[in-house]
């Protein structure tokens, strides 16, 4: 199968595991807006979550939902047509932000296995996310490559259409 389209890179996001666990800020809000007059607290919570999801840097629960965020978190070198370039980007962030160890041993899948998996996924048009803890489990890193157009969510528009 030949992959048509391109890839967007998002991240790295580095932060506390406590913030990452705030799932309500990592999901797009429901299309039904609470009534401000009937329930001001619910309306305020809704608008806070909407603002955080659309404008915040917290990684979304669903990788493809990066395409919904209004802030692009893009640099010119984070969009590729060749999946191998995206894999090189993933490896570079991994090298700059290696995962923690558990008992003096790697706590996660080895890098070569991750690279093999990423190549396979991107070649098939599947998104890739790498998320792991640094030493300790208080801080973590998350970064993703999103296929565009997205096969799992074809309704999502490209945030940076190629000219």
pLDDT tens digits along 106-148 = 778 889 999 999 999 999 999 999 999 887 668 899 999 999 9
Q: Does some domain include residue 120?
A: yes
Q: Helix, strand, or coil here: 131?
A: strand
Q: Are 13 and 141 in contact (CB under 8 A)?
A: yes
For residues 142 and 132, what is the distance between their CA atoms, to the nearest angstrom?
7
Is residue 40 scored above 50 in pLDDT?
yes
Global pTM reads 0.86
Q: Which residues contact 159 (CB under 8 A, 6 or more apart)?
A: 8, 67, 69, 72, 74
- Nearest in space to 58 (alpha carbons), one of 131, 122, 8, 121: 131
Q: Each residue of 57-105: pLDDT tens digit? A: 899 999 999 998 876 555 545 889 999 999 999 999 999 998 987 777 7
Question: Phi and psi at residue 69, in whole multiples of 5°?
Answer: -70, 140
Q: Does some domain include residue 109?
A: yes
Task: Place 163 in a pLDDT band, splitting at 50, 70 and 90.
Answer: very low
Which secondary-structure segment (H or E) carries 7?
Answer: strand 6-16
Give the structural domain span for 108. 6-21+63-148
Q: Between these two residues, 153 and 159, which has the higher pLDDT value?
A: 153
Q: Are 65 and 127 in contact (CB under 8 A)?
A: no
Q: Does some domain include residue 72?
A: yes
Question: How many distinct structural domains can be found in the chain?
Answer: 1
Of the CA atoms within 13 Å of residue 42, those in its CB half-sphere come to 9
Q: Does some domain include residue 49?
A: no
Is residue 1 scored above 50 in pLDDT?
no
């Amino acid at each position: 199968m030949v992959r048509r389209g391109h890839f967007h890179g998002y991240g790295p996001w580095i932060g506390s595991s406590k913030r990452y666990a705030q799932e309500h800020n990592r999901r797009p809000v429901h299309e039904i807006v609470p009534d401000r007059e009937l329930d001001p607290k619910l309306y305020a919570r809704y608008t806070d979550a909407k603002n955080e999801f659309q404008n915040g840097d917290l990684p979304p629960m669903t990788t493809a939902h990066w395409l919904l965020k209004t802030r692009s978190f893009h640099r010119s070198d984070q969009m590729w047509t060749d999946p191998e370039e995206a894999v090189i980007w993933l490896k570079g962030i991994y090298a700059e932000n290696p995962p923690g160890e558990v008992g003096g041993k790697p706590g996660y899948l080895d890098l070569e296995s991750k690279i093999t998996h990423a190549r396979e996924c991107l070649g098939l048009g599947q998104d890739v996310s790498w998320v792991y803890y640094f030493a300790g489990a208080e801080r973590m890193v998350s970064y993703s490559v999103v296929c565009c157009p997205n096969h799992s969510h074809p309704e999502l528009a490209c945030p940076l259409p190629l000219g």
